[in-house]
Chains A and B, each alone.
Chain A
């Protein structure tokens, strides 16, 4: 399977595992980035690079905009990404053909867990946490500067994350100290 086909298939699985759209292409990109940390095959095919909005997979972007192997695989509505009619049928087909396959079930469990957590973040919260945790990735840009170097924006994000109970107290203190 070449990388385009792999990425298209995995995008169908990621979007199908929950009965709701992914809020934005940024969320989808970062969710796959996290998945690549769990699964070396994902890193190999998605090939994340440094980008002004953190780790970025060009092939994922291409596949979402224009799927090749499955017609009408994806749809974009108000910035949110969801499965198109073709994607829905393909997701059902993959599940039926691989019902008892441990590998697929494990991948779906990982994807569900990632989506449940990361989709509770706004785009700024998501970017901030990714920039802070995976420092090897962000290219300097107006976006990263605003989030990391603008004290009021940064503090608002940190406070918001803690008030929403999305980070632990130790993590909150760690971030406050780091960016004091």
Chain B
């Protein structure tokens, strides 16, 4: 059984803003312990409907001081804007949690960041998925949502401003249909 999730801001903003379904996010957070870097939490706190998440702040494991300044290690590999926003800190947190033996799912949507993780921390590849992929797992693996609910959510995400490859949506829906 998975203990938790580590996700960057796009995951949270998907439910809070893009599809405006905060209750879905809350249901996810009630089933998985969320580990989140402080700067990612700060960014998410400024999004639409963030008050729903803030009410559940006690459920969040917010990492205030990123472990051992490891963020500096990635400084040459990410842009200045990414450093300022702390976008690399999700990767660092995943690395540290993995070394500590935590069992988690890493949710990253940007393909270049996923490729960066696969290259520099290949042991995280098997734990990694995107928001839509994770929703699929919430049905066929964890039974948090039923089939109709999850297909509905994925369709809603596909029609929203959330950026996701159509191929990914098709693959996840296929998996749901096969009930794997």
Which A residues lie at the B interface, using CB under 8 A? 34, 37-39, 106, 109-110, 113-114, 116-117, 120, 129-130, 132-133, 164-174
Contact = CB atoms under 8 A, between A and B. Distances in A.
B70 interface: yes
B72 A34 contact: yes
A165 B121 CA distance: 12
A106 B68 contact: yes
Interface of B: 68-70, 72-82, 95-96, 99, 110, 112-113, 115-116, 118-121
B77 A167 contact: yes
A133 B76 contact: yes
A165 B119 contact: yes
B99 A165 contact: no
Contact of B73 (A34, A168, A173): A34
A39 B70 CA distance: 10
Contacts of B118: 165
A-side interface mostly? helix
Contact of B115 (A34, A113, A165): A165
19 contacts: A34-B72, A37-B75, A38-B68, A38-B72, A109-B68, A110-B70, A114-B73, A117-B73, A117-B120, A120-B119, A133-B75, A164-B119, A165-B118, A166-B116, A166-B120, A169-B112, A170-B78, A171-B79, A174-B81
Given A166-B119, A171-B77, 11 more contacts: A37-B69, A113-B73, A116-B120, A117-B77, A129-B76, A166-B116, A169-B110, A170-B82, A171-B79, A173-B79, A174-B80
B70 A113 contact: yes
A130 B78 CA distance: 13
B25 to A, nearest CB: 26
Contacts of A170: 78-79, 81-82, 112
B115 to A, nearest CB: 4
Contacts of B120: 116-117, 120, 166
B117 to A, nearest CB: 9
A168 B116 contact: yes
A110 B68 contact: yes
Contact of A132 (B74, B76, B119): B76
Contacts of A169: 110, 112
A167 B78 contact: yes
A168 B77 contact: yes
A168 B91 CA distance: 12
Nearest to A130: B76
A112 to B, nearest CB: 8
A55 to B, nearest CB: 12
B70 A168 contact: no
Given A109-B68, A120-B120, A168 B76 contact: no
